[in-house]
Amino acid sequence: MAKYLLLKHYRGAPAAVNDVPMDQWAPEEISAHMQYMNDFAARLEKTGEFVDGQALAPEGTWVRYDGEGRPPVTDGPFAETKDLIAGWMVIDVDSYERAIELAGELSAAPGAGGKPIHEWLEVRPFYGTTPTITE
Amino acid sequence: MNEALLRSLTPSVLAILVRRGADFAAAEDAVQDALVEAVRVWPAGRGDPIWDAKGWLVTVAWRKFLDQARSDAARRRREDLVVEEPPPGPTPAVDDTLQLYFLCAHPSLTPSSAVALTLRAVGGLTTRQIAQAYLVPEATMAQRISRAKRTVSGVRFDQPGDVATVLRVLYLVFNEGYSGDVDLAAEAIRLTRQLAAQVDHPEVAGLLALMLLHHARRAGRTAPDGSLVPLAEQDRGRWDTELIAEGVEILQAALARDRLGEFQAQAAIAALHADAPTAEETDWVQIVEWYDELLRLTDSPVVRLNRAVAIGEADGPRAGLAALAALDASLPRHAAVAAYLHERDGDLVTAARLYAEAAQKAPNLAERAYLTRQAARLNARRCR
C-alpha cells in the first residue's frame, strides 16, 4: 500500500473545464456537489482506502522567526500568491494507477449546470518508510 | 453492564480515593482502571448483578491504587512511603464531586486541558473516546490529560473553587457538538445536571437551561443532507417540546431568584425563540431587551452583533444596519449579518456580494456551504 495526497487548490491550478465560481451555481447544484464529495469519502472508507480529508479556510498568514526574544514576524495574506490550497484527501491505495483513477473521479464532482467540474487536482506520493527487506 | 451508571459513579468514587489520601493523578488512573475492569467482568445484558456498584468500584479502584503505589515505591526504593489501607466499611456519605469539578476546571489549566480532564475525571470517558471526540490522536490526548494532572497536582482538594470557571468548561464541551461515538453536547448536559444537583447557583441553572433549550432544537438544525437550517426555516415540529418545557421551568426558577447572569440571559433569549410557534411570531422586542441585559453583563462585541440582528427584526432592517454600522467589520460573522440585513432591506446586489464575502470568512464548512448557497440563491434570482 502507498499513500497519496490529493490536493485541491482555490487557485494556482490550471483552469477547470466547467469553471464557474460556486456562488454563481444554483443552490441545489451546490447541494449535489457536497453530496458527491461526502459519498466519495464514504465509499473510500468502505473500501479501506480513506486516510484523512480536511478543508482549509482561504485566508492564511506567513510567519517567520525574528530572533531571540522577539515575537515572530507575520505577513500576508498576499493577494498575488499564485498557489492557494483549499483542502486535501489522503488515500492509501495499492498502486499509483489507483490513485490517479480516484483523483479522476474526485475531479468529476458536479458543478454549475450539474455537469462535472473537470477541475485539476494534484496527486503527490508520500515518502514511505524504508522497507524491512532492502536487498 | 450499564455504562451510564458506571460513568455517573466516576466522580464520587474518585473523590473517595482522594479523601482517603491518594493523590489526584494516581487516584484518577486507578478509577479508570477500575472502570475498564468493570466493563470486563460485569456480565453484559443481564441487568446489574452487583447491588453496590459504587462500593465495588471503590474497592477495586483502591486496590489498583495500592498496587501502583507499592510498585512505584519499590521501584524508587523509597521505604518511607507507607500506604495504609483504611478499614473496610460503608463508603462515606460526604460527596466531594463538586470539588472534582473545581479541580478539573482550575484556573491554572488551559481551556483544552480543563475540558479533557473534566471529561475523563468527572465524566468517566476513556482517553480514546475523548481523543475521538476532538479528532486528535489518542497519544496526544493522553499527553494533554497527564500534563493537566501534573498542573493541578499541588492544588489542595478541599478549597472551594469558582463556579464560573466550571461553567465555562462545560459550555465549551457543549459547544463542541458531536462527532464520533461520543455526543459531547449530551455529555455536557449530563455533567451540568450533575453539577446542578451539587450546588445551588442560579447561573448553573441558567447554563443547564441554555443547553436544554439549544439541544431541544438539534433535530431541526440540520437537513437530511447535513446542511445547516437557519432558525427561521426550521421545522418546529421537530423540536423536542419536553426538553423545552424543562429548560423554561429551570430558567424561570433561576430568574425568580433575581441574581441575573450571562447564562440566564442567554437562556432567556433561547427560551423566547423556543416559545414562538412560528418564526414570525417571535417576540423580537423582548429579545432585544435581553440582549441589552446581556450587554450590561458582558459588553461583548459578539453580543452587539447578535443584538443588531434582533434590532433588524424588531425595528426593521435599516435600524439593524444602523446598529451594525457602529461595530468593527472584522468581527466574525459581521459580513453574514450585513448580508442578511441588506437582503431584508431589498438590496440584493449588496447582499449577494456580502454573502460570498462571508462564505470566504466562514469558520466552518457547514456555514461556508450555507452562505455560498445564500449568495447563489440571490445571484440566480437576479439572473432570471
Do B226 and B366 meet the contact criterion of CB atoms below 8 Å apart? yes
User: For A20, which residue in chain B has the nearest alpha carbon?
Assistant: B376
B360: closest CA of chain A, how far (Å): 7
Whether A12 maps to a domain, the answer reads yes
Average pLDDT over residues B102-117: 94
User: For B383, which residue in chain A has the nearest alpha carbon?
Assistant: A24
- To the nearest whole number, what is the mean pLDDT of chain B? 89
CA neighbor of B91 nearest in space, from B127, B122, B62, B131: B62
- Name every residue whose Cβ is closer than 8 Å to that of residue A44 and which is 6 or more positions away in sequence: A50, A89, A91, A102
Whether A92 maps to a domain, the answer reads yes
DSSP β-bridge partners for residue A62? A75
Per cent of chain B over pLDDT 70 is 91
What pLDDT score does B52 carry?
84
8 Å CB contact of A27 and B359: no
Q: How many CB pairs under 8 A join A and B?
A: 40
CA-CA distance, B269 to B283, in Å (whole number)? 10
Q: Are strands A62-64 and A73-75 parallel, antiparallel or unpaired?
A: antiparallel
User: For A30, which residue in chain B has the nearest alpha carbon?
Assistant: B373
Whether A135 maps to a domain, the answer reads no
Question: Is the per-residue pLDDT at B265 higher than 90?
Answer: yes
Average pLDDT over residues B205-228: 92
Pure H helices in A48-93: none
What pLDDT score does B347 carry?
97
8 Å CB contact of B225 and A24: no
Q: Is A50 helix (H, G, I), strand (E, B) or coil?
A: strand
CA-CA distance, B110 to B168, in Å (whole number)? 12
What pLDDT score does B227 carry?
84
Question: Is the per-residue pLDDT at B79 higher than 70?
Answer: no
Question: Is the per-residue pLDDT at B103 higher than 90?
Answer: yes
Q: Which three cell numbers stand for residue B41?
A: 467482568
Per cent of chain B over pLDDT 90 is 70
- Per-state percent for chain B, helix, strand, coil, to nearest 5: 70, 0, 30
Using 50, 70 and 90 to split pLDDT, how confident is the model at B92?
low
Whether A131 maps to a domain, the answer reads no
Average pLDDT over residues A39-60: 91
CA-CA distance, B119 to B145, in Å (whole number)? 10
Question: How many domains are contained in chain A?
Answer: 1
Q: Which residues of B touch A38 (CB under 8 A)?
A: 226
Using 50, 70 and 90 to split pLDDT, how confident is the model at A83?
confident
Q: How far is CA A68 from the centre of its chain?
A: 36
Q: How far is CA A31 from the centre of its chain?
A: 19
CA-CA distance, B28 to B117, in Å (whole number)? 10
Domain around A63? 2-125
Whether A78 maps to a domain, the answer reads yes
What pLDDT score does B233 carry?
94
- B256, with CB counted inside 10 A (0-12, 13-18, 19+), is exposed
CA-CA distance, B7 to A7, in Å (whole number)? 42
Task: Report the residue from B361, B362, B376 with minimal CB separation from A22.
Answer: B376
CA neighbor of B335 nearest in space, from B382, B6, B343: B343
What pLDDT score does B81 carry?
45
CATH number at residue A29: 3.30.70.1060
Do B321 and B345 meet the contact criterion of CB atoms below 8 Å apart? yes
Q: Which residues of A touch B362 (CB under 8 A)?
A: 57
Does the complex come out with an ipTM higher than 0.90?
A: no
Judged by average pLDDT, the poorest of A22-26, B44-48, B304-308 is B44-48
Whether A134 maps to a domain, the answer reads no
Q: How far is CA B129 from the centre of its chain?
A: 16
CA-CA distance, B89 to B233, in Å (whole number)? 59
B355: closest CA of chain A, how far (Å): 9
User: For A27, which residue in chain B has the nearest alpha carbon?
Assistant: B373
